[in-house]
Amino acid sequence: KNQVEQSPQSLIILEGKNCTLQCNYTVSPFSNLRWYKQDTGRGPVSLTIMTFSENTKSNGRYTATLDADTKQSSLHITASQLSDSASYICVVSETQTGANNLFFGTGTRLTVIP
């Protein structure tokens, strides 16, 4: 069964600190993996899209890694800011075409405190 599991469920960190969010998946055959940031009550915003051949991808203070062999991805946030408080959602795409072949995780709720 195709699933995306994220951990931790929630995380609280001090402003300025780094953190790493995890995403494990069983989706197969794999096409790509995306990380989205979702502010409370808003729509998800894309951070990165990684294909099978990409191990690391950065977007400012966000760095995503992908290990397609172990089916794991992480999102590392450097020097966190209060505005980083949001849910971070991992989405994995199957190779079969179709929006129904995008599998969403439940997200990690990050709270950055001063």
Residues that bind another protein (CB under 8 A): 31-32, 34, 36, 41-46, 49, 89, 93-102, 104-107
Cα 80 vs. chain centroid, distance in angstroms? 16
Is residue 108 a contact partner of residue 21, using CB atoms and an 8 Å limit? yes
- Give the span between the Cα atoms of 35 and 55, in whole angstroms: 14
Nearer residue to another protein within complex by CB, 35 or 80: 35
Distances in Å between the alpha carbon of 7 and those of 3, 19, 33, 63, 103?
13, 12, 16, 16, 16
The least CB distance from residue 15 to another protein, in Å, is 26
Of residues 80 and 93, the one with the C-beta less far from another protein: 93
Query: Least Å distance between CB 35 and another protein?
Result: 12
3-state secondary structure of 111: strand
| Shortest Cβ 16–another protein spacing (Å) | 28
- Name the residue nearer to another protein (CB basis): 4 or 80: 4
Question: Smaller CB distance to another protein: residue 98 or 114?
Answer: 98
Tell the smallest beta-carbon distance from residue 114 to another protein (Å).
26
Residue 84 near residue 18 (C-beta atoms within 8 A): no
User: Residue 89 is encoded by which pair of tokens?
Assistant: 């959602």
